[in-house]
């Protein structure tokens, strides 16, 4: 019988400002927000536009394509979950629509990661309700 | 009314311990308060303003109880390791405004004896932005490493250039009898040390120690009647950087805002500065900060730090006590930047004295350079 291994890494604490973002991710859809008044795109999601303080918000579905803005190959992390999966790649990915996300790069050897390389979103279902937007080489 | 030049650091004391399993953090605060007040020639009864951080959300109250303080003015600004530099600026403003007369700033930590993994513990889920980061395993060192990686990408900065900074700090630590690590190291040693979070190696990272310190500030007028040569607070500024709406340039660190403002407020130029105390949580912190402060152009930090320029005897000695990279780092190092600057401006640097040091620039960085961080710059001058 397959042993079920509990997920030990931190799970997002979903709140009223982020619920729509996480619900979309569970459907394997990546969204960012745009202000309906001043047009400024923002990520991560929040209720009020920092540029003009408007609450009029639209959700924009991201293509899921982007490039690596920067990264680090993590060789040491004492936290449960992560310490069992060293090394792993922590990165910032710039979506082709502009906003950047903190994420992990998966599906390639850590030594092969380069700043500027094209990537695409790879949804990772970690619980029934939560999927994380990770990225793999495109 | 300007506050600049009207207040002074009149007492400074660094706790000599680097490993204190037999002590509590509050005890280190208390012993440091004793040291700094004795240095100033003042007593605990003179203190009417109290400043501290790193003691929990309302820990200032507990520490007031521990020291039986009943201050008229308090501030526990907590913006990471730079907090204590910030406290000095806030104390200067409070003294100039008449909110208190004698300000005590204390710090104490037993991070090393508690085996606290300062830089390699994961981010815990606390504030709203953490939900978009913590699931991916950021560490403090990882955040700084992403700045280093971006710097290398944009400017071709090398690991050897970063290593040179660690080598220089170790050379300075060799002159400091209290420093945690004093044996000389080479660039090759740094590059051969294990990678913690690429491109940063073990020796690119600050040490983890126990320790603490304290500062006493009062008006420049009152300082004239005290025992020690006063060190004047000539200017200062704070800044905050973060990922904002997801378009932040990672190399635009807080020092780019606080540095020029602090220099302008002090009415001095880069060329006037005799030595710098730059928060060196990691080698990249020094390089990025010196660039952002304007001592060199963006991208020139590697070359600027090479060839002994930031070593004792060089044009701009940095961290003459050995810094966090070699002397001590109990988690929040800002207070030691100020203590070492005071030492230099009093001419008490011993073998590590910068000749005829008149002006020092202190810059504290707090938080995570590649995510959310604070920068506090302060210009100190010999009276």
Q: How far is B359 from chain A (nearest CA, A)?
A: 37
Average per-residue pLDDT for chain A: 95
Q: What is the pLDDT of residue B119?
A: 82
| Distance from C-alpha of A58 to C-alpha of A35, rounded to nearest angstrom | 6
pLDDT value of position B1: 59
CB contacts of B195 in chain A (<8 Å) are 73, 75
Q: Which fold has domain B7-115+206-382?
A: Peroxisomal Thiolase; Chain A, domain 1 (3.40.47)
ipTM of the complex, rounded to two decimals: 0.96
**Contact at 8 Å (CB) between B354 and B312?**
yes
Report residue A125's pLDDT band, with 50, 70 and 90 as the boundaries: very high
Q: What is the mean pLDDT of residues B299-317?
A: 97
H or E stretch at A32: strand A31-35
Rounded Cα gap, residues B360 and B263, in angstroms: 11
Q: Which of residues 48-107 of A touch B (CB under 8 A)?
A: 50-51, 69-79, 81-82, 88, 90-92, 98-104
- How close, in Å, is residue A61 to chain B by CA atoms? 16
Give CA–CA dist A13/A60, Å, rounded: 22
A5 pLDDT above the threshold of 70: no
Residue B35 is encoded by which pair of tokens?
A: 């040291």
Report chain B residues touching chain A, CB-CB < 8 A: 117, 120-125, 128-139, 141-142, 145-147, 149-150, 153, 194-200, 243-248, 250, 370-371
Question: How many C-beta atoms surround the C-beta of residue B241 within 10 A?
Answer: 25
Q: Do B149 and A14 touch (CB under 8 A)?
A: no
Please report residues of B whose CB lies closer than 8 A to that of A13: 125, 130-131
pLDDT of residue B56: 83
Q: Where are the alpha helices (DSSP H) in chain B?
A: 25-40, 59-66, 83-97, 140-155, 159-173, 187-192, 220-223, 255-266, 283-293, 301-305, 334-346
pLDDT, position B125? 73
Quick: pLDDT tens for B8-17.
999 999 999 9
Distance CA A95, CA B167 (A): 39
**Structural tokens at position B121:** 């513990």
Helix (H) or strand (E) holding A21, with range, is helix A19-26
In tens, the pLDDT along A84-99 reads: 999 999 999 999 999 9
Which chain B residues are closer than 8 Å to A15 by Cβ?
128, 131
Average pLDDT over residues B71-97: 97
Sequence-separated (6 or more) residues with CB below 8 Å from residue B351: B175
A123 at interface of B, judged by CB pairs closer than 8 A: no
Mean pLDDT of the B244-273 span: 97
Q: Average pLDDT of B172-191?
A: 98
Residue B34 has pLDDT above 90, yes or no: yes
> Do B334 and B185 touch, CB atoms closer than 8 A?
no
Residue B61 to residue B332: CA distance in whole angstroms: 19
Q: Is the pLDDT of residue B19 over 70?
A: yes
Q: Identify the CA nearest to B331 among candidates B114, B81, B87, B51.
A: B81
Provide CB contacts within 8 A for B101, sequence distance 6+.
B46, B48, B49, B95, B218, B219, B222
Question: What is the distance between the alpha carbons of residues A65 and A30, in angstroms, rounded to a whole number?
Answer: 10
Contact B149 A71 (CB under 8 A): yes
Asked if B383 contacts B223 with a C-beta cutoff of 8 angstroms, the reply is yes
Q: Do residue B135 and residue A9 have CB atoms under 8 angstroms apart?
A: yes
So where are chain B's domains? Answer: 7-115+206-382
Q: Tell whether A116 lies on the interface with B, counting CB pairs under 8 A.
A: yes
* pLDDT given for residue B325 in this prediction: 98
Residue contacts between A and B (CB atoms, under 8 Å):
133
Scan for tokens 């992390």, then name that residue: A77
User: Is there a contact between B280 and B319 (Cβ–Cβ < 8 Å)?
Assistant: yes
Locus of tokens 């992403």: B146
| Averaged pLDDT, A14-29 | 97
- Within an 8 Å CB–CB cutoff, is residue A31 touching chain B? no
Rg, C-alpha atoms of chain A: 16
Give the nearest partner residue to B247 out of A13, A82, A99, using CB atoms. A99
Residue B238 Cα, gap to closest chain A Cα (Å): 21
Residue A2 confidence (pLDDT) = 47
Q: Is the pLDDT of residue B297 over 70?
A: yes
| 3-class secondary structure, B95 | helix
User: CB distance B137–A70 less than 8 Å?
Assistant: no
Mean of pLDDT over chain B: 96
Cβ within 8 Å, pair A70-B132: no
Distance from CA of A3 to the nearest CA of B (A): 23
Percent of chain B past pLDDT 70, that is, above it, reads: 100
Which letter does DSSP use for residue B325 in this model? I
- Cβ atoms of residues B49 and B100 within 8 Å: yes
CA B146 to chain centre: 21
């Amino acid at each position: 019988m397959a042993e079920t291994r509990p997920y030990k890494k931190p799970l997002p604490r979903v709140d009223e400002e982020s619920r729509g973002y996480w619900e979309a991710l569970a459907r394997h859809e990546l969204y960012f927000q745009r202000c309906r008044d001043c047009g400024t795109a923002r990520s991560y999601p929040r209720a009020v536009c920092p540029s003009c303080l408007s609450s009029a918000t639209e959700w924009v579905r991201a293509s899921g394509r982007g490039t690596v803005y920067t990264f680090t190959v993590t060789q040491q992390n004492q936290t449960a979950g992560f310490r069992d999966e060293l090394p792993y790649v922590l990165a910032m990915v710039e979506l082709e629509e502009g906003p950047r996300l903190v994420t992990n790069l998966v599906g390639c050897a850590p030594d092969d990661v380069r700043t500027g390389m094209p990537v695409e979103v790879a949804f990772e279902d970690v619980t029934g309700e939560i999927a994380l937007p990770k990225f793999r080489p495109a | 009314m300007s506050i600049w030049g009207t207040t002074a650091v009149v007492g400074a004391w660094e706790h000599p311990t680097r490993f204190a399993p037999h002590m509590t953090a509050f005890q280190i605060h208390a012993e440091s308060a004793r040291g700094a007040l004795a240095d100033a020639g003042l007593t605990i009864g003179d203190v009417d303003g109290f400043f501290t951080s790193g003691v929990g959300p309302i820990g200032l109250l507990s520490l007031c109880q521990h020291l039986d303080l009943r201050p008229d003015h308090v501030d526990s600004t907590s913006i990471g390791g730079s907090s204590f530099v910030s406290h000095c600026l806030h104390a200067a403003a409070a003294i100039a405004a008449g909110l208190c007369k004698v300000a005590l700033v204390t710090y104490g930590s037993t991070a090393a004896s508690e085996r606290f993994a300062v830089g390699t513990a994961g981010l815990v889920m606390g504030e709203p932005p953490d939900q978009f980061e913590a699931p991916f395993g950021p560490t403090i060192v990882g955040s700084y490493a992403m700045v280093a990686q971006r710097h290398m990408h944009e400017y071709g900065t090398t690991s050897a250039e970063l290593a040179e900074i660690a080598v220089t700090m170790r050379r300075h630590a060799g002159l400091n009898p209290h420093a945690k690590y004093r044996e000389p190291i080479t660039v090759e040693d740094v590059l051969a040390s294990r990678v913690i979070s690429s491109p940063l190696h073990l020796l690119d990272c600050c040490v983890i120690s126990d320790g603490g310190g304290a500062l006493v500030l009062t008006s420049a007028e009152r300082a004239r009647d005290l025992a020690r040569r006063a060190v004047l607070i000539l200017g200062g500024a704070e800044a905050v950087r973060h990922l904002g709406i997801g378009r932040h340039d990672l190399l635009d660190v807080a020092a780019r805002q606080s540095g020029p403002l602090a220099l302008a407020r002090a009415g001095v130029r880069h060329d006037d500065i005799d030595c710098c105390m730059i928060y060196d949580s990691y080698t990249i912190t020094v390089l990025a900060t010196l660039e952002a402060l304007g001592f060199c152009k963006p991208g020139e930090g590697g070359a600027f730090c090479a060839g002994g320029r930031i070593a004792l005897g060089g044009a701009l000695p940095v961290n003459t006590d050995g810094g966090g990279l070699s002397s001590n780092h109990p988690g929040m190092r800002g207070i030691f930047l100020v203590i070492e600057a005071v030492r230099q401006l009093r001419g008490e640097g011993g073998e590590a004295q910068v000749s005829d040091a008149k002006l020092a620039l202190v810059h504290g960085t707090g938080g995570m350079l590649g995510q959310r961080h604070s920068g506090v710059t302060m210009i100190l001058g010999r009276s």
